[in-house]
Amino acid sequence: MLRAQYATRGPRPADVIEAVEFTPAPLVEGQALLQVLAAPINPSDVLTLTGEYGMLPPLPAIGGNEGVGKVVELGPNTTGPAVGTTVLLPVGVGTWATHVVADAKKLVPLPGNADPVQLSMLTVNPPTAFLMLRDFVTLAPGDWVIQNGANSAVGGYLNQLAKLKGYRTVSVVRRESAIASVEAADVVIVDGPDLHKRVAAATGKAKIRLGIDCVAGAATDRLASCLAEGGTLVNYGRMSGEVCHVSPGSFVFKDLTLRGFWLVLWFRKATPQEQTAVFGEIAQLVATGKLSARVQATFDVREIKAAVALAASGERAGKVVIVPKV
């Protein structure tokens, strides 16, 4: 059995993590041993390795916060999904591994006939896109939404979810080469100083009331310039590495609202029933192929350094996923 472990953090995330052999302790009551089928590498995982994320586990730690697995053994007197069941791995168990041990009561059964790679990305990016579309502005079919970083995994999910709900989308990317990787968008535009003029021309001067920002820096203000009076701009990341910049004119003359979104806080506040409802809807969409993410490459746990290096690079056209070879 292997797992990707790190004992330090640093600016080069691939340098601090390595695959190590391990033998799990015998299972006790309430525990389950799971074979990991797939586990993605998210931007938050990379920031955790560099020490820049908002919540850092104590060291040493195992990489990976989400994934999907198969029950291979239950502890004595343990009630849980049966052996052989495909399950969603609990958040934060260290999913970049061939096997993990988890609390059997926290395992969520998933459709066994769905693609495990797509199911493995269920916990973080799809609910982020789902909740940002749902919880900040009440939208109706035909309404417009604008987002930057649209070639990201969250961006792809957001476009697909918007299309399913009948919303129209403007997808902003930072380079020409990223245009081809954006799918399910009504308009795709490269960011720039005159963004608001080009968006107005492309949408027929539509009144856009919701903006989604994952870049921060000056890009935040460029999105703000595209919003209608009274609009809401939601930031959930800082791909630029900078703080959000919004001109006073956007607040004063357009009465815009700038909000932040972090899925961790939603998990803390949402009831189990609310979480079940959200993940049930998303899981059904993934299982039926209506919601998916582009995958750039898959790697074995033994190749964790190469996998993290690729995930941390800026020229990807899809997600990097760990698919352990057992």
- The active-site residue out of 53, 157, 167, 236 is 53
Active-site annotation holds for 53: yes
Using a 10 angstrom Cβ sphere, with 0-12 exposed, 13-18 middle and 19 or more buried, the burial of residue 256 is buried
Q: What separation in angstroms does the CA of 98 have from each of 38, 94, 108, 166, 314? A: 9, 10, 19, 40, 27
The alpha carbons of the chain give a radius of gyration, in whole angstroms, of 20
Return the residue matching tokens 């009440």: 138
Residue 204 C-alpha from the chain's centroid: 31
Tell me the two tokens of residue 39.
């586990």
User: Contact 98/34 with Cβ under 8 angstroms?
Assistant: no
Catalytic positions, please? 53
